[in-house]
Structure 1
Amino acid sequence: MSLPRFLDIEYCQTDDVLFPTAIAWSLGDGQMKAVVIAPDESWLPDDGDPGDTDIRYLMEQGVPLIELVRELHEDLPDQTVYVDSLDPDEILVDLIFSAVGHEAPFEIAPIGDLITGLDIESLEDRRHQLMIEEGLEPQLPENGVYALLLLAREEGYLDED
């Protein structure tokens, strides 16, 4: 049986720019992948001020967009991928794929579409509580995905192995 897929994206946002800086996603077997994203030149602010974001680090350590898009195409084709709905996830996914002239091979849906027994505030409260209980740093996308996996497990969507 294939498990639900989850995705979380960290991003830079200033008055002038919005672009993804890191992404994590889960696979059908529950494993996760996470990468830092090398930004497209068109995403960078004209004045060179990306706020708190270390552009040099992203350029040196980040995965090129074409490689990221290829991997997402391999891992998430024709899938519904659930997100926490707190971030502009659809916009960020569109930025990643449009930068290389592709469309996302998956559909994004809020976690509330999967876990229908709790309202969105209760889901977010429980996800936040799980992050605290597990000692997870919320700014790391792999921790966001892990918290969504834990939440789905609690709600009976994952086997207790």
Structure 2
Amino acid sequence: MSFPRFLDIEYCQTDDAIFPTAMAWSLADGRMKTVVITPEDAWIPEDGDTGDVDLLYLEEQGVPLLELARELHEDLPDQTVYVDGMDPDELLVDLIFSAIRQEAPFEIAPVSELIDGLDSGDLEDRRHQIMIEEGLEPHIPENGVYALLLLAREEGYLED
């Protein structure tokens, strides 16, 4: 059985910049992968202000964009990947792949296109409720993917 694929991206956003800092996605068997992302120099504001984001941590622990792209090409080729629709995920994916002059190997769609029995507001409310019930931090990408997997299971799109 192949599960729907989900993706969530954590990002830095300031007055002068927006860029991805971490990403999680689910695989066909329901497992997840997560990475910290090494930022491109061009993404960093000239004044160096990245808010609460620890650039040294990202540079030391992050995955280079080419390596990230290779994994995404292996894991999500020609897939529709569902996102919560609350974050600028499409823009962030475009930033990643344009930085390495490649096309994304997948299409992004809001989870409301998969789960059409609830409107987008009800879906977001339920996703948020699942995160609270499960004690999940909303700013951790694997938690966002896990909540979407639980929501899809609850709505009958996954088997236990």
- TM-score of the superposition, structure 2-length normalised? 0.99
- Give the AA of the match of 2:139: Q
CA distance in 2, matches of 1:104, 1:86: 20
List per-residue Cα deviations over 1:105-139 (Å, max 9, x = no partner). Answer: 00000000000000011000100000011111111
- Give the AA of the match of 2:108: I
Note the aligned Cα RMSD (angstroms). 0.5
Describe how 1:69-148 pairs up with structure 2 within 5 A: 69-148=69-148
CA distance in 1, matches of 2:57, 2:45: 16
Aligned to 1:54: 54
Aligned to 2:159: 159
CA shift at 1:52, angstroms? 1.0
Identity across the alignment (%): 76
Aligned to 1:32: 32
- Give the AA of the match of 2:39: P
Aligned to 1:19: 19
Aligned residues: 160
CA distance in 2, matches of 1:34, 1:133: 22
SS of the aligned residue for 1:104 comes to coil
SS of the aligned residue for 2:29 comes to coil
Moved over 2 A (4+): none
Gaps (5+ residues) in structure 2? none
CA distance in 2, matches of 1:145, 1:37: 17
